Amino acid sequence: MLDRDGYRPNVGIVLLNQKNQVFWGKRIRTHSWQFPQGGIDRGESPEQAMFRELYEELGLKPEFVRVVGRTRDWLRYDVPERYIRRDARGFYKGQKQIWYLLQLTGHDWDLNLRATNHPEFDAWRWNDYWVPLDVVVEFKRGVYQMALTELARYLPRLGDGLRGKGVPMRPPPSYAQVAAGGRQEPLRRSFTMELPPGASFDPDPHTNEGGEDKPLPRLIDVQDDAHDSGGDIELHDDDTAAHEAH
């Protein structure tokens, strides 16, 4: 469903471990990294949608996390027109999101990227709180900056009385430049496993043995299934527009 301005309601999730590091997931069959996110279904509250997405994308049930905080208002991003199917242009603009800060109360091994038949990630790692924006798809960077900045004040205090290992309450100076569309490595079509230290790889059942990947899905659609829209990168399923606008 869309609101009257053409934005689809959505939730984003920042998951902390006990060191105030954050879950950082690699989008399946791409070189783009991001936080979990997903659309709010009709009749769901943002919190209900958050817990559903938490299980669908990370395999975590509510008893394995605690809610630390959330953004006060909706944060919006526009999807560039070239990534939107022609029949959705003119009424679909992008996403409006409520972001939740959660802390893992279970163990790393409680995470399961294959909890459903439609996985969103094929690798993950614990990353410093201020994640590298240059590996995030460009049009989401501004929202990431705003969400992390607002949620930073809720970071739990550790035993030394600091938030994290001295996690600064403000983003690095480079954040504003990158969020505004600064340098980004181009997305590569070929799939090679070049994971950062500390990352975990959960093999994708749709890839061939030896790591050779099938062609990437193309573009976002007005539905959750992909159709040919003439593009060449994959975006999150929840960057799709719905047929119904309110």
CB hemisphere CA count around 144 (13 angstroms): 26
Give the pLDDT confidence score for residue 125 in this predicted structure: 96
Give the pLDDT confidence score for residue 228 in this predicted structure: 27
Give the lowest-confidence range in 55-64, 91-100, 199-208.
199-208
Give the pLDDT confidence score for residue 85 in this predicted structure: 85
The DSSP element (H or E) to which 46 belongs, if any, is helix 46-58
CATH class of 7-182+209-239: alpha beta
Give the pLDDT confidence score for residue 182 in this predicted structure: 54
Q: What is the pLDDT of residues 185-209, one digit of tens each?
A: 333 333 334 455 556 655 444 444 3
Q: What is the pLDDT of residues 159-174, one digit of tens each?
A: 654 455 557 677 777 7
Higher pLDDT, 145 or 181: 145
Higher pLDDT, 158 or 96: 96
Residues in the chain: 246
CB 123 within 8 A of CB 199: yes
Mean pLDDT of 101-130: 96
Give the pLDDT confidence score for residue 17 in this predicted structure: 97
CB 119 within 8 A of CB 25: no
Give the pLDDT confidence score for residue 173 in this predicted structure: 73
Give the pLDDT confidence score for residue 170 in this predicted structure: 74
Q: Where are the domains of the chain?
A: 7-182+209-239
Residue with tokens 């739990």: 156
Residue 139 scores a pLDDT above 50: yes
Highest mean pLDDT among 25-29, 90-94, 179-183, 214-218: 25-29
| CA 198/CA 123 separation, integer angstroms | 10
Residue 239 scores a pLDDT above 80: no
Mean pLDDT of 74-95: 90
Task: Tell me the sheet residues that pair with 7.
Answer: 94
Among 222, 138, 225, 217, smallest CA distance to 182 is for: 138
Residue 63 scores a pLDDT above 90: yes
Give the pLDDT confidence score for residue 166 in this predicted structure: 58
Give the pLDDT confidence score for residue 87 in this predicted structure: 83
Give the pLDDT confidence score for residue 191 in this predicted structure: 35
Give the lowest-confidence range in 92-101, 165-174, 177-186.
177-186
